[in-house]
C-alpha cells in the first residue's frame, strides 16, 4: 500500500515538473541563437535532474572523468538498464543531444520538449531516415556539441550488458570524435518493466570512463572499437557488483 501511494506521488510530482518546464523551454528556444540550441538543451536536461529529486528513494552517485571543455564534442555511449536511466544520465554536467525512438517525439509535452531541445529522432527499420539521423548527429559534432547513444538499442531485460550496435562507433570514426564511455548500474529495479510502481530505495551509480580516441581509426576498426568500449563498461559494472565480468556480459555465454 505504501509503495503504491509513494509511486502515485512520484508520478504526480513528475507530471507537474514536466508541465511547468514546457513554457520555460519554449521561451528559451525562442531567444536561442546558438544553432545547436545548447542552452535550451541543457535546460531540458535539468528536467531529468528534477525528476530524479522527486523520488526521494534514489541516491545517485556520479564519478569518473571531469570534462573540462563542455563544447568538445564526444560520442557518448552508455549501457541501458531502465527508463530511469534518462534522468540519471541527465546529471552529467554538459549538454549532449540524445538519439531516441521516433515514437517518443510524437508524445504530447515530452515529445515537444525533445523537439525544442534539438534531440534526434530515429525511425527504426527505415534505413533512409536512419541515415538522416546519422547526418543530423554528425552536424552536431561538427558544431561542437556531443551526442548521446544507448547502443544496446533498448533497456536490458536482465541487468546484464547486451550487444552494442555499430552506429555510434561509425559516427565517431566518421567525425573523428572521441568516444566517451559511461557506465551505470543500480537503475534496473528503479522502475520495473510493465509496472507503474517504483522499486525500493536504491543507490544508482554513474561513472564517466576515460575517452577513447578515434583519430587514427577507419571504418574497418568499428568492431574492435565497439568491443573495446563495451568491455570497459562491462568491467566497471562488474567492479561495482564485485563479481566476474562474465556474469555482467550477456554475450559471455556465447563465446
Cell for 36? Answer: 545547436
Q: Decide if domain 2-254 falls under CATH 3.40.1130.
A: yes
11 CA to centre of own chain: 21
What's the whole-number average pLDDT of the chain? 92
> pTM for the complete prediction?
0.93
Higher pLDDT, 111 or 128: 111
> Above 70 in pLDDT, residue 255?
no
* pLDDT tens column, 204-243: 999 999 999 999 999 999 999 999 999 999 999 999 999 9
Q: CA 179, 69, 144 angle in degrees (round to 5)? A: 65
* pLDDT tens column, 141-178: 999 999 999 999 888 888 999 999 999 999 999 999 99
> Above 90 in pLDDT, residue 94?
yes
- pLDDT at position 253: 65
* pLDDT tens column, 183-196: 999 998 887 777 77
- pLDDT at position 4: 83
pLDDT (average), residues 27-34: 96
> Above 70 in pLDDT, residue 100?
yes
**Rg for the chain, CA atoms, rounded:** 18
Higher pLDDT, 125 or 210: 210
Per-residue pLDDT band at 199 (split at 50, 70, 90): confident
Please answer whether residues 181 and 212 qualify as being in contact, where contact means their C-beta atoms are separated by less than 8 angstroms: yes
Domain layout of the chain by residue ranges: 2-254
Order across the sheet with 146-149: list the strands: 58-64, 202-208, 178-185, 74-78, 146-149, 96-101, 120-122
For residue 178, give every residue at least 6 positions away whose Cβ sits within 8 Å of its Cβ, in sequence order, or none.
Answer: 74, 75, 172, 211, 212, 213, 214
- pLDDT at position 254: 53
Amino acid at each position: 500500500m505504501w509503495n503504491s501511494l509513494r509511486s502515485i506521488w512520484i508520478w504526480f510530482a513528475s507530471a507537474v515538473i514536466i508541465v511547468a518546464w514546457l513554457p520555460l523551454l519554449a521561451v528559451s528556444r525562442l531567444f536561442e541563437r546558438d544553432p545547436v540550441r545548447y542552452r535550451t538543451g541543457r535546460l531540458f536536461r535539468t528536467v531529468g535532474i528534477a525528476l530524479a529529486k522527486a523520488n526521494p528513494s534514489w541516491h545517485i552517485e556520479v564519478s569518473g572523468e571531469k570534462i573540462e571543455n563542455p563544447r568538445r564534442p564526444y560520442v557518448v555511449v552508455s549501457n541501458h538498464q531502465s527508463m530511469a536511466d534518462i534522468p540519471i544520465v541527465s546529471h552529467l554536467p554538459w549538454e549532449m543531444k540524445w538519439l531516441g525512438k521516433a515514437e517518443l517525439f510524437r508524445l504530447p509535452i515530452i515529445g515537444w520538449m525533445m523537439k525544442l531541445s534539438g534531440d534526434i529522432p530515429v525511425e527504426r527499420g527505415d534505413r533512409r531516415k536512419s541515415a538522416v539521423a546519422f547526418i543530423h548527429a554528425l552536424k552536431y559534432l561538427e558544431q561542437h556539441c556531443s551526442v548521446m547513444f544507448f547502443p544496446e538499442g533498448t533497456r536490458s531485460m536482465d541487468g546484464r550488458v547486451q550487444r552494442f550496435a555499430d552506429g555510434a562507433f561509425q559516427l565517431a570514426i566518421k567525425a573523428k570524435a572521441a568516444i566517451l564511455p559511461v557506465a551505470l548500474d543500480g537503475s534496473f529495479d528503479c522502475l520495473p518493466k510493465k509496472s507503474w510502481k517504483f522499486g525500493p530505495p536504491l543507490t544508482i551509480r554513474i561513472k564517466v570512463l576515460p575517452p577513447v580516441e578515434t583519430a587514427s581509426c577507419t571504418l574497418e576498426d568499428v568492431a574492435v572499437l565497439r568491443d573495446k568500449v563495451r568491455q570497459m563498461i562491462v568491467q566497471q559494472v562488474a567492479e561495482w557488483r564485485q563479481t566476474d565480468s562474465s556474469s555482467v556480459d550477456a554475450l559471455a555465454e556465447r563465446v
